[in-house]
């Protein structure tokens, strides 16, 4: 067996000191697709301007800046004319969307910055980014790519709990259905069926094409500020009510052998931290780099017992208009846009403001974000007036 990780385990029943203290005041996204004529700076500027307009602010109001997957924070600040008192660049990995959000919340709550712009830009499609290859620990054996790591875990999960590839179908189909309700989604207008999911070509067996996220260009920006200041801004504030995180790196550079179940379980403290129970949440944003992570997330956060996620999602549980837990209503990484968590959190904010049109969750008051990675995380966002 792998080493038993010793977890710090966030204390259950402890209110989060930052509960409802920080708000999302603006949200912006660029176009999503293939844009070789621009780059992550250009796309980032597009998203930032859209987020500033949304918040009714200008770059002069921004005194904190976090950029992600844009090569240089300095160049980005320079080109946008932002001279902040708090500035940093976070790692490219998708787990850093939630981490960046938490860092901004800490900066705002501690007074290090008032209004923080968080900007993520990705031109992976136009530069033909390959998520695999290159020299790494396991490349001599041909083991590479995050998809293969998830395929390895999924095969073991099948063996251990009796899940099957068919169990992933409702995940991909629900998210594609949502993308078809979202005019901005890359896969808008291209519905799929469970049969399409089953018949897709294998990429790294047991996973197939429709279990994989998209690779596209795009950018997302959020403006975060204090809940107090957000009250006087243009749009109804959405509060960051709770956030929980538990890391585990004890996997020997190999695919995690525990499906992150212990660390995700530790993140169940998010409900206590937010002061919001699961029953009071209307929808979910789950990090879907590959369809199995959605099931691992549902098991880890306790939506169902470990091993029972296949049955749990059957019959459209995650699909808007069908099930109790509409998830990734934009289409997620599988069918909207691969914005590494940044877009999923933006979608939670849009749902809580009632901005989602045909894909709106009726009366969304609180949304939960979950990210199953070696940095396991969950956050709960709510409408300030809810």
Active site residues: 287, 338
- Report the residue from 15, 111, 183, 202 that binds another protein according to the rule CB under 8 A: 202
- Report the residue from 13, 37, 141, 362 that binds another protein according to the rule CB under 8 A: 141
Backbone angles phi, psi at 154, to 5 degrees: -65, -40
Kindly give, in sequence order, each residue whose CB lies less than 8 Å from that of residue 329, ignoring residues fewer than 6 positions away.
178, 181, 182, 283, 320, 347, 351, 356, 359, 361
**136 touches another protein (CB under 8 A):** yes
Rg of the chain in Å (alpha carbons)? 20
Nearer CB in complex with another protein: 37/201: 201
Tokens 């600040």 sit at which residue? 77
What number of other Cβ atoms are within 10 A of residue 90's Cβ? 18
Residues binding another protein: number (CB under 8 A): 37
**164 touches another protein (CB under 8 A):** no
- Secondary structure element (H or E) that encloses residue 98, with its range: helix 96-110
Select from 87, 97, 50 the least CA-distant residue to 66: 87
**145 touches another protein (CB under 8 A):** yes
- Report the residue from 117, 153, 227, 375 that binds another protein according to the rule CB under 8 A: 153
- Report the residue from 13, 17, 159, 385 that binds another protein according to the rule CB under 8 A: 159
**253 touches another protein (CB under 8 A):** yes
- Report the residue from 143, 200, 384, 386 that binds another protein according to the rule CB under 8 A: 143
Nearer CB in complex with another protein: 208/353: 208
Choices 9-17, 144-152, 176-184, 217-225; region in contact with another protein by CB under 8 A: 144-152
Q: How many whole angstroms separate alpha carbon 365 and alpha carbon 289?
A: 26
CB of 297 to another protein, least distance (A): 20
- Report the residue from 15, 183, 252, 357 that binds another protein according to the rule CB under 8 A: 252
**Helix 291-300 and helix 169-180, axial crossing angle in degrees, nearest 10:** 110
Choices 137-145, 302-310, 315-323, 361-369; region in contact with another protein by CB under 8 A: 137-145
Is residue 137 exposed (0-12), middle (13-18) or buried (19+ Cβ within 10 Å)? exposed
Select from 46, 69, 359, 332 the least CA-distant residue to 186: 332
CB of 76 to another protein, least distance (A): 31
Choices 104-112, 150-158, 161-169, 280-288; region in contact with another protein by CB under 8 A: 150-158
**151 touches another protein (CB under 8 A):** yes
Backbone angles phi, psi at 4, to 5 degrees: -70, 115
Buried-state track 102-126, b at ≥16 Cβ within 10 A, e below 16:
bbbbebbeeebbbbbbbbbbbbbbb
Q: Return residues touching another protein (CB under 8 A).
A: 1-3, 130, 132-133, 135-145, 148, 151-153, 155-156, 159, 201-206, 250-255, 257
């Amino acid at each position: 067996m792998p080493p038993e990780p010793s977890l710090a385990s966030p204390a259950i029943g402890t209110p989060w000191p930052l509960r409802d203290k920080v708000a999302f005041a603006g949200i912006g996204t660029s176009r999503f697709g293939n844009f070789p004529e621009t780059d992550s700076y250009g796309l980032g500027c597009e998203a930032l301007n859209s987020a500033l307009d949304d918040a009714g602010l200008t770059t002069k109001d921004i005194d904190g800046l976090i950029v992600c997957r844009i090569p240089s924070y300095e160049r980005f600040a320079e080109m946008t004319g932002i001279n902040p008192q708090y500035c940093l660049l976070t790692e490219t990995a998708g787990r850093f969307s939630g981490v960046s959000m938490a860092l901004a919340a800490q900066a705002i709550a501690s007074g290090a910055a008032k209004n923080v712009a968080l900007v993520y830009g990705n031109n992976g499609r136009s530069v033909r980014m390959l998520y695999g290859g290159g020299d790494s620990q396991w490349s001599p054996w041909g083991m590479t790519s995050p998809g293969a790591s998830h395929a390895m875990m999924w095969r073991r999960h099948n063996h251990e709990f009796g899940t099957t590839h068919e169990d992933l179908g409702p995940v991909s189909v629900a998210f594609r259905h949502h993308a078809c309700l979202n005019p901005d989604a890359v896969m808008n207008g291209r519905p799929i069926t469970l049969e399409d999911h089953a018949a897709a070509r294998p990429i790294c067996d047991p996973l197939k094409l429709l279990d994989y996220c998209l690779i596209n260009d795009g950018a997302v920006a959020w403006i975060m500020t204090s809940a107090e200041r957000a009250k006087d801004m243009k749009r109804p504030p959405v509060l960051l009510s709770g956030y929980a995180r538990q890391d585990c790196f004890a996997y020997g550079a190999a695919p995690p052998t525990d499906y992150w179940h212990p660390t995700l379980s530790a993140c169940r403290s998010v409900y206590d931290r937010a002061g919001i129970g699961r029953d009071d949440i209307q929808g979910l944003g789950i990090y879907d780099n590959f369809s199995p992570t959605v099931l691992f997330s549902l098991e880890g956060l306790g939506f169902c017992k470990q091993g029972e996620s296949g049955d749990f999602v059957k019959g459209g549980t995650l699909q808007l208009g069908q099930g109790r837990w509409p998830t990734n209503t934009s289409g997620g990484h599988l069918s909207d846009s691969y914005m590494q968590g940044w877009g999923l959190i933006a979608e939670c904010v849009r749902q809580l403001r009632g901005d989602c049109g045909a894909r709106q969750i009726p009366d969304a008051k609180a949304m939960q974000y979950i990210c199953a990675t070696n940095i396991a995380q969950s956050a709960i966002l709510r409408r300030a007036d809810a």
